[in-house]
Amino acid sequence: MRFFGAVAERSPIPVGLQIAPGYLDAGLSADNLRRLARQHPNIAILKVEMAALDIAALAAATGGAFDIFNGHAGLELPDCLRAGCVGIIPGAECADVLARAYDAAASSLPGGQDEADRLYAEVAPFIVATMASIDRFLIYAKRLAVRRLGLGEDLARLRSPAGSASPAGCRIVDRHTAGLGPYPGTTTRKAFNRRSNGGGRR
């Protein structure tokens, strides 16, 4: 708390803290966050890596002191927004679909929430399959992002000591690559299909 307070005192702009209690041994409690917000009003943003139920509890416990964004690869996006998030900070692999889901949820149009749920359902199986661990997410989310962006397959490799992709995992990526298609404007459909076919056998 002293460290974050010292940073906030010297910052001319709003300060955001990343909270990832499920992945780090140490973290700030809701009580500590409330105290920080009282002592340093420019600490006004939280970027969390949490489930929707935990976000709802955090939002209630901090009493609206923060604008809360969730990362977590976009997992549970519609329910995170319902729980009190003002936005989402996903990875690149499905960000285009998740952005459309956010826009639908944030709109005042009839059926916006239903459309957000529908769009999220397109990417939920991949997010759930890969978010079982950080290592798994890095391996397969990066592979999907590389495929959808039309980049070279060699860019999907990770530096040591990261694990490596399995044939079963590559088949999951192949299926979602074909289902989601390329990012708009990144490559032609023909070139994309040429790169994505048989990628799991490399």
Q: Give tens-digit pLDDT for 145-175.
A: 999 999 987 788 777 777 888 999 999 999 9
Within 8 A by CB and 6+ apart from 140, the residues are 126, 129, 130, 165, 169, 172, 173
* Comparison of pLDDT for 48 and 163, the residue scoring more: 48
Provide the pLDDT for residue 26: 67
Taking the C-alpha atoms of residue 187 and residue 128, their distance in angstroms, rounded to an integer, is 27
Q: Cis (ω within 30 of 0) for the bond into 167?
A: no
Q: Give tens-digit pLDDT for 100-110.
A: 999 999 998 89
Query: Do the bridges between strand 87-88 and strand 43-48 make them parallel or antiparallel, or are there none, so unpaired?
Result: unpaired
Whether the CB-CB separation of 193 and 174 falls below 8 Å is answered with: no
Cα-based angle 14, 16, 18 (whole degrees, multiple of 5)? 175
Kindly indicate the confidence band of residue 143, based on its pLDDT and cuts at 50, 70 and 90: very high
Taking the C-alpha atoms of residue 61 and residue 31, their distance in angstroms, rounded to an integer, is 8
Q: Give tens-digit pLDDT for 70-99.
A: 999 999 999 999 999 999 999 899 999 999
Residue 189 has pLDDT above 50, yes or no: no
Is the pTM of the predicted complex or chain greater than 0.75?
yes
